[in-house]
Amino acid sequence: MNITLRNFEPEDFDTLYEIDQACYEPEVAYSKRELRAYLRFSGSDCLVAEAEKQIAGFCISARREESGYIVTIDVLPQFRREHVGTKLLDEIERRLGANGVREVALETATDNDSAVAFWTKHGYRNRGIKKDYYPGGRDAFAMSKTLPL
Ligand SMILES: CC(C)(COP(=O)(O)OP(=O)(O)OC[C@H]1O[C@@H](n2cnc3c(N)ncnc32)[C@H](O)[C@@H]1OP(=O)(O)O)[C@@H](O)C(=O)NCCC(=O)NCCS
C-alpha cells in the first residue's frame, strides 16, 4: 500500500475527529473541544497519513524542552497492520528528536493488546500503571522510550 505523510491542515479536523471516534470507545474518544485543544497546544505537532486517496490515520505529539509526549495515534481499522502507524510514529519521533527531545512518553490502556504490542515493537517500555486513568475507570500503562542520539 502506498502511504504518504503530510502535515495536518485545518480542513482535516472533522475527518480526524471521525477517525478518533472510530478508534476508541465513546467514553475514551476525544470530544471536538479536546481534539482542538491538543492540536493548538504549544509544541504540538500533527501528522496525517494518506492511503488510497483518503486519510488512513494520524498522530499528535507534544513537546516541552527534552520531553516529548504522544497524545494519540489513530489508524482506521481497515488500514491496520499495513505499517501506517509505524510510518506515522517514525516521522513523529524523528521530528521530536530534531527538536531536542530525548525521552518520549505516552499512556495506553492496559487491555489494549494491539496498542501495547505496537508500542513494545517500537521500543517503548512499561514504567508503571496509572489506576483509573481513563473515563470509565480503565487503567493505563505509562510507557516511555529514550530516542537514539
Ligand atoms: C495501535 C495502532 C495505531 C497500530 O497501527 P497499525 O498501523 O496497525 O500498526 P503497524 O501496522 O505499523 O504495526 C507495527 C507493528 O506493531 C505490532 N502490532 C500492531 N498491531 C498489532 C496487533 N493487533 N497485534 C499484534 N501486534 C500488533 C506488530 O509487531 C506490527 O508489525 P507487523 O505487522 O509487521 O507484525 C492501531 O491498532 C490503532 O489505531 N488502534 C486504535 C487506536 C489506539 O489504540 N491507539 C494507540 C493508543 S495510545
Nearest CA to ligand 1 atom 12: 83
- At residue 78 the predicted structure's pLDDT band, cuts being 50, 70 and 90, is very high
Best substitution site from 5, 16, 71, 81 to test ligand 1's pocket, by max atoms within 8 Å of Cβ? Answer: 81
d(CA 141, CA 108): 5
Minimum-distance ligand 1 atom for the alpha carbon of 74: 39
Residue written as grid cell 485545518: 10
Residue 142 CB partners (closer than 8 Å, separation 6+): 105, 106, 107, 126, 127, 128, 129, 130
At the top level of CATH, the class of 3-146 is alpha beta
Q: Residues 48-70: what's their mean pLDDT?
A: 97
d(CA 39, CA 57): 15
Residues with CB under 6 A from ligand 1: 23, 73-75, 80-86, 106, 108, 112, 114-115, 117-118, 121
- Closest by Cα among 57, 54, 145 to 102: 145
Domain ranges in the chain? 3-146
Dump pLDDT digits (tens) for 90-138: 999 999 999 999 999 999 999 999 999 999 999 999 999 999 999 889 9
Nearest CA to ligand 1 atom 21: 114
Per-residue pLDDT at 95: 98
- The phi and psi torsions of 67 (rounded to 5 degrees) equal -105, 130
